[in-house]
Amino acid sequence: MKQRVPKKNISSRIADIISPRRKHEAAKERELASDSWIDKKTATEFLGSSEQKIDGKPKDNFILSKGKSTVKKILLGSLFLFLATLLLLGAGAYVKWNDALRYFNSTGEEINNFINKNNQQENSSSSASARLNFFDIAKTNALWENIGSAYSGFQNFSASGLGLLNELNVLGGNWPNLLLHGGGRELIEHLEKIKAYLESIGEANAKLTSLNIGLDTFLSDKYGSPLSIQLGFRHLDGFLGAVINWLSSEDERHILVLFENSSELRPGGGFIGSYADVVFSGGSIKSIEVHDINDADRKLEANIVPPKPLQAIQKSWTIANSNWFFDSSVSAAKTIQLMEKSKMYAGKISFDGAIAVSPGVVSDILEITGPIDLQSRNLTISKDNFITEIQNEVQAAQAKGIPSKRILAELVPELLLKLDSLKAQDNRLAAEKLNEWISKKDLVVYFKNTSIQNFLDFYGASGKIFEIPSDFNGDYLAVPSANIGGGKSDLFIEQKVFFKTQLNSNGTANDHLEISRKHTAGKNDAWWYRLPNESYIKIFTPPDTSLSNFSGGWDRKISPKINYSKSGYVIDASIAEIESTLKKNFNFPTVEEFKESGKKVFGLWVKTDAGQTSKISMDYSVHLFSPPSDGQKYQFVFEKQSGLPTIVSKASQAALPAVASSKAGSYHFEIYAPVGFSWKESNSPLFEYETADPPGRLMLNLTLKRDL
C-alpha cells in the first residue's frame, strides 16, 4: 500500500517585490525581506493599485488544495527534491564507480582465465595482459609469488563489486518508487546492503594493496589507484553508516529545503524566497510543510545587525538574507541558526541539515519530463521559460493582492505525475543529473552530522570553498555578487570575467582582473527585470594579495536606518569576525578590503542600468610558495557562485512564451610561465582556458618545464 503523507501548509506569497498596498500592511509587522527600496511612484506605475478580494474579503493566506490527491502529489514534489539528494548522493557512487567496478570485475575474470591456462607466454597477448604490465619482469614475479592471494582478492573484489552494482542498479531504476511512495524501510534495507558490499570491497582492496605487487601500476589510471579508490569507498561507507542511523531513528528529524531565487543573488546562492520543513521518522516522511520565508522571519524577534551592504535595504538581518557567506556550508549553518531562533521553531524544533535548490534544478527536471501544459492558464511551462513565467505569475498575483502560488498548485501535481511515470532509463538520467547539479553548485547540501558533512565536503556537494594550503604554489579567484536593490535583474546580467597572471622568477605573480557586466533587459521585459542592477561584488583572492591598481565601481553610501547600539541590536559573531578586518583603501575609495574564509576579499559596488555595461579592472600581486623550477607544479583555482542563473538573452516574454536563453557570461583565464619556462600541458609559455559554463570549482593543474 502506498503511504500517504499528511497535508502541508502553504502561505500565500514569496518574499519578492510587493505592491504599495501590501507594503503599507507589512509596515505594521516586523520588517521583512521585501524590496522595500522601490518607491511608491515606481511601483504604482508598473503595478497599479487595484485590490482584488476572494469571497468579498482580502486574502492573505491560501491553502493550496483541500483535495487529498493533489496535496499528496505536491508533498511528494518537495519530497523528491530532498530525498533525491540524500539517496542519490549515496547512489551517485553508481555514476562515479560504475566503470571502475566493472573494470575490476572483468580483470578478475581474466586473471582467472590466465591462471587456468597456466601458460604465461600464451596469455601475454590476451586482453588481460593489455591491462597488466607483464613487460615489467620484477612486478610480474611479485604477482606470481602472491598469485593465490591476489586471485582471492580479485575474486572477493569482483563478487562484492557485482553485488554492489546490482543494488545500485535497483536504486538507479527504482528510486522514484522509493521516494514518491513511502518506501523508507525498503530504502534503509538497500542502503544496508550497499554498506555491507562496500565494507567487503574495502577489505578486498586493502588485501590487494598490501601484497606489495605494485598493483597500482597494473591497473589503468583512468579510475585511480587502489588506494584512491579505497579512500573513496571509505568516505562513502562512513556516509552511509551515518545516513542509515539518521533515517532509522524513530525520533522526528527535520531538514530545511531552501528554494533560492537566482534572479536576485546573494553570495551563498539566490535570495531565499520560500522553504520546506521535511520531517522524517523511522525512515519515512512524516510530514512536509512549505512556507514563505516571511512566515519564519515574522517570528524572528531577535534584532540582529545585518551585514553592512544589506543595511542599504533593511534595518535587521533576516533569514531570507542569511546566505550572505560565499561558503555555502557556512551560509546554510547560519540559515539554520536563525531559523531555530524564530518563534516558529525556537525551543521546539531543531534542523539537522539544509538543502539549497536553484531554479536550474527544476528546469532540468522539466527537460527530462517534457513541457507541462496548464490548460486553465493557456500556458505551457518548459525548461526554457520556467523561471520567467513563474516570476510573472507571482508578481501579477502580488500586485492584485491575491494568492501568488496558485500556479504552483497547478504545476507541481502535473510535474509529479510525469515524474512518477518515467521509465527506468529516465530515472537513471535523473540520477546522473544530480551529479551535474552538485558539480555546478545548483544544489548544495549541509548536515550538522560530522560524518555526513565530511562526505559532502569530500565530494564537493556542500559548497564548502577551497582551503588554501600553507605550501600553495598557485592562485585563487572567486567573484560572487549580491544584488541589493536591483529587483530581479540578475536574470539579465551577462558577466564576463577575464583573468591574467604572469609568474615571476622571484616567486611572485602579477595578476590582472577585468569584470564586465552587461544588463540585457529591454523595454518589453517586465519592470522587475529592467531595474538598475545594484550589486555588491566580493572578489576573493589569496590571503597575501596586494592591490596596486583599480578602476570602476560605484561609490554607494550606506547609512544605517537606526542607531544599532542605542536600539539594543545584537551583532552576529560570524559577521563581526569578517567586518572587524574591514578597512578602506584610501588610494582606491570605491574598494574595501577584509578577510573571509581565509582569503583576502575586495568588496565593491557596481551599478548597471538596463541596456548598459559596467566594467571594473584591477591589478594585484600574490606570493607563491617558492620560486619557479623545472618540474614544479602550479595550480589555479576558480570557484563559481552557487545557483548562478541562466540569463535571458533576448526578446519579450510577452511575445515569446519560451524565451531564448544562454549561460550567464564567459570566463577566460591566461596563465603565463616565468621567463625561461613553458607549461608542459600547452608546450608554450601561455596556458589558456575559456568556458561559458565552469564547474563549481575549476582546478587547472600545470607543470613548469625549463626551456632549453
SS3 label, residue 364: helix
Shared domain for 443 and 337, answered yes or no, is yes
User: 432: domain CATH number?
Assistant: 3.40.630
For residue 538, being part of any structural domain is answered with: yes
Shared domain for 242 and 254, answered yes or no, is no
DSSP annotation string for 282-321? TTEEEEEEEEEHHHHHTT----BPPPGGGGGT-SS--GGG
User: Is pLDDT above 70 for 440?
Assistant: yes
69 Cβ contact partners less than 8 Å away, ≥ 6 residues apart: 413
DSSP annotation string for 129-198? HHHTTTT-HHHHHHHHHTHHHHHHHHHHHHHHHHHHHHHHHHHHHHHHHHHHTT-HHHHHHHHHHHHHHH
Q: Which residue is it, cell 511515470? A: 421
- Between vectors from CA 44 to CA 41 and to CA 48, what angle results, nearest 5°? 165
- pLDDT computed for residue 690 by the predictor: 96
Nearest CA to 87 out of 196, 6, 172 is that of 172
Shared domain for 423 and 534, answered yes or no, is no
Choice among 5-19, 439-453, 524-538 with the minimum mean pLDDT: 5-19
Could you tell me the residue range of the domain that residue 33 belongs to?
Answer: 20-63+250-457
Q: What percent of the chain has pLDDT over 90?
A: 46
- pLDDT computed for residue 229 by the predictor: 56
Shared domain for 138 and 187, answered yes or no, is yes
pTM > 0.85: no
Q: What is the dihedral of CA 414, 415, 419, 425, to 10 degrees?
A: 120
Shared domain for 276 and 374, answered yes or no, is yes
Residues 114-120: contacts with CB under 8 Å, at least 24 apart: 115/147, 115/151
Question: How far apart are the C-alpha atoms of 445 and 87, rounded to whole Å?
Answer: 12
Q: Comparing 435 with 18, which gets the higher pLDDT? A: 435
| Residue 1's pLDDT band (cuts 50, 70, 90) | very low
Amino acid at 595: K
Asked if 305 and 571 touch (Cβ cutoff 8 Å), the reply is yes
| Residue 417's pLDDT band (cuts 50, 70, 90) | confident
Shared domain for 434 and 477, answered yes or no, is no
User: Is pLDDT above 60 for 623?
Assistant: yes
Q: Comparing 103 with 202, which gets the higher pLDDT? A: 202
User: Is pLDDT above 50 for 10?
Assistant: no
User: Is pLDDT above 70 for 628?
Assistant: yes
User: Is pLDDT above 80 for 48?
Assistant: no
Asked if 372 and 381 touch (Cβ cutoff 8 Å), the reply is yes
Asked if 340 and 312 touch (Cβ cutoff 8 Å), the reply is no
- pLDDT computed for residue 60 by the predictor: 34
| Residue 701's pLDDT band (cuts 50, 70, 90) | very high
For residue 578, being part of any structural domain is answered with: no
For residue 379, being part of any structural domain is answered with: yes
**For residue 501, how many other CB atoms are within 10 A of its CB?**
21
Tell me what the pLDDT averaged over the chain comes to.
Answer: 76
Q: What is the mean pLDDT of residues 315-330?
A: 97
Amino acid at 397: A
Q: What is the pLDDT of residues 536-571, one digit of tens each?
A: 999 999 999 999 999 999 999 999 989 999 999 999
Shared domain for 125 and 236, answered yes or no, is yes
Choice among 11-15, 119-123, 473-477, 582-586 with the minimum mean pLDDT: 11-15
Shared domain for 152 and 297, answered yes or no, is no
User: 606: domain CATH number?
Assistant: 2.60.40
Question: How far apart are the C-alpha atoms of 231 and 211, rounded to whole Å?
Answer: 18
Shared domain for 597 and 652, answered yes or no, is yes
SS3 label, residue 33: coil
Choice among 149-153, 431-435, 567-571, 614-618 with the minimum mean pLDDT: 149-153
Listed residues 248, 273, 301: the one ending a domain: 248
Q: What is the mean pLDDT of residues 601-615?
A: 98
Shared domain for 241 and 258, answered yes or no, is no
DSSP annotation string for 192-242? HHHHHHHHHHHHHHHHHHTT-S-HHHHS-GGG--HHHHHHHHHHHHHHHHH
Shared domain for 428 and 494, answered yes or no, is no
Question: How far apart are the C-alpha atoms of 695 and 325, rounded to whole Å?
Answer: 19
Helix H or strand E segment including 688: strand 686-691
Nearest CA to 595 out of 644, 540, 528, 659 is that of 540
Q: What is the pLDDT of residues 142-185, one digit of tens each?
A: 444 444 454 555 566 667 777 777 777 777 666 656 665 667 78
Nearest CA to 410 out of 1, 10, 6 is that of 10
String of b and e for 223-243 (b: at least 16 CB within 10 Å)?
bbebeebbebbbbbbbbbbbb
Shared domain for 603 and 543, answered yes or no, is yes
User: Is pLDDT above 50 for 132?
Assistant: no
Question: How far apart are the C-alpha atoms of 203 and 226, rounded to whole Å?
Answer: 12
Q: Give me the number of domains the chain comprises.
A: 3
Q: What percent of the chain has pLDDT over 70?
A: 66
Give the C-alpha distances (Å, rounded to integers) separating 16 from 260, 261, 379, 389, 658.
11, 9, 22, 15, 23
